[in-house]
Amino acid sequence: MADQTEHLHILGISGSLRQDSYNTALLRAAEELLPPDMSLEIADLRGIPFFDADLETEGTPDKVRLFRERIRQADALLFATPEYNYSITGVLKNAIDWASRNVPDRSPLDGKTAALMGAGGRYGTLRAQLHLREILQHNEIAVLPHPQLMIPFARQQFDADGRLTDDDMRQRLQRLLLALQEWARRLQK
């Protein structure tokens, strides 16, 4: 368990597979703004098969096993979710379904700490974040109550290279990271 002086390792999980995803870009912005005693690794959900109990019975697929191990090694999780039809993406829900299982051993999600953020349209990702928060209750993930980061009109907040350019949003992201750091350390004690 990390204390106030130990390094915190965060696993960033983007709910988008799109190459130019604003949510993956948001995780890259988080990497730039991390406090010095934190690191962030971005998980790759590409290639995780659709959850299928028959497939699980045959043995956990390698991509799933790797994802679960990265979750297990992380001190906290940082979700960046787009909003599709008032909810999270299928790819994110699928990855959570695989990771939430107690097969072949206890779920690595159980009892983790997490923060939520997202870049989207007019309302940012408000509804997706509310739904994600509800989904994460299944594994008793301690989701940071506030601040939350919802970036509206994402196209206007990122440049052509996928860099978050809005100073206010960068400051909000930095505050979210500091709050996640404090939240994770407090709950690990």
For residue 1, the model assigns a pLDDT of 44
**Averaged pLDDT score across all residues of the chain:** 95
* CA–CA gap between residue 166 and residue 75 (Å, rounded): 29
Residue 3 within any structural domain of the chain: no
Q: Look at residue 150 and give its three-state secondary structure.
A: strand
Q: What is the CATH number of the domain that holds 166?
A: 3.40.50.360
Enumerate the H helices of the chain as residue ranges: 22-33, 53-58, 62-73, 90-100, 126-136, 154-157, 167-188
Confidence of residue 9 (pLDDT cuts 50, 70, 90): very high
Residue 178 within any structural domain of the chain: yes
Q: Look at residue 85 and give its three-state secondary structure.
A: coil
Question: How many CB atoms are located within 10 Å of the residue 126 CB?
Answer: 16
Taking a C-beta distance cutoff of 8 angstroms, is the pair 104, 60 a contact?
yes
Residue 1 within any structural domain of the chain: no
Give this prediction's pTM: 0.95
Confidence of residue 5 (pLDDT cuts 50, 70, 90): low
End-to-end C-alpha distance for the chain, whole angstroms:
7
Residue 102 within any structural domain of the chain: yes
Residue 176 within any structural domain of the chain: yes
Peptide bond into 104 cis (omega under 30): yes
pLDDT digits (tens, 9 = 90+) for 65-78: 999 999 999 999 99
DSSP for residue 105 = S
Selection from 34, 80, 26 nearest residue 184 by Cα: 34
Structural domains in the chain (count): 1
Q: For residue 2, is pLDDT > 50?
A: no
Which domain, by its residues, includes 109?
A: 8-184
Residue 126 within any structural domain of the chain: yes
DSSP for residue 137 = G
pLDDT digits (tens, 9 = 90+) for 89-147: 999 999 999 999 998 889 999 999 999 999 999 888 999 999 999 999 999 999 999 88
Peptide bond into 36 cis (omega under 30): no
DSSP for residue 139 = G
